């Protein structure tokens, strides 16, 4: 709860201290806390590292992929956006689908020079059944 609160407030100093304390005590971070770390990342690289730490060898949760999509949009980071597509589940939630489609808006990491092509391609590849 403390990690999430620090993330929401943008309190990076206390966020980092809370993570260090949890790690020192051997406490496993929840998916919500790990999602908050992705959202609080200072760079796209930090967001990707937090995501990879959270995922390990198991498939990522929708919560983690959505946090990564939001980070990709915030940092306008193509590598993050492509990681989102790589880990996108077969049946994403509506919130995750919206976060992915936002990555195709003008100026976003997956935007195409040909208006609408990216959105159509993403839809056909990931959402059409």
Listing DSSP states for 60-108 in one string gives: PPHHHHHHHHHHHHHHT-HHHHHHHHHH--SS--HHHHHHHHHTTSTTS
Give the tens place of pLDDT for each residue, 45-63: 999 999 999 998 788 999 9
Looking at residue 14, its pLDDT comes to 77
**pTM for this prediction:** 0.85
Q: In Å, how far from its chain's centre is CA 3?
A: 16
Mean pLDDT of the 118-128 span: 82
- pLDDT above 70: percentage of residues in the chain: 95
Q: CA of 123: how far to CAs of 60, 78, 97, 127, in Å? A: 21, 18, 9, 5
Helix, coil or strand: residue 65: helix
- Is the pLDDT confidence value at 118 over 80? no
Average the pLDDT over each of 99-103, 108-112, 113-117 and give the range with the smallest value: 113-117
Residue with tokens 């990564």: 68
More confidently predicted of 124 and 8: 124
């Amino acid at each position: 709860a403390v990690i999430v609160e620090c993330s929401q407030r943008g309190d990076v100093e206390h966020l980092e201290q809370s993570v260090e304390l949890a790690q020192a005590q051997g406490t496993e971070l929840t998916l919500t806390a790990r999602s908050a770390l992705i959202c609080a990342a200072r760079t796209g690289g930090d967001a990707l590292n937090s995501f990879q730490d959270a995922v390990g060898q198991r498939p990522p949760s929708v919560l983690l992929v959505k946090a990564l999509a939001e980070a990709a949009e915030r940092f306008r980071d193509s590598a993050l956006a492509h990681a989102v597509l790589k880990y996108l589940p077969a049946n994403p939630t509506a919130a995750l689908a919206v976060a992915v489609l936002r990555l195709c808006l003008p100026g976003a990491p997956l935007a195409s020079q040909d208006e609408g092509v990216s959105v159509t391609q993403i839809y056909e590849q990931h959402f059409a059944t």
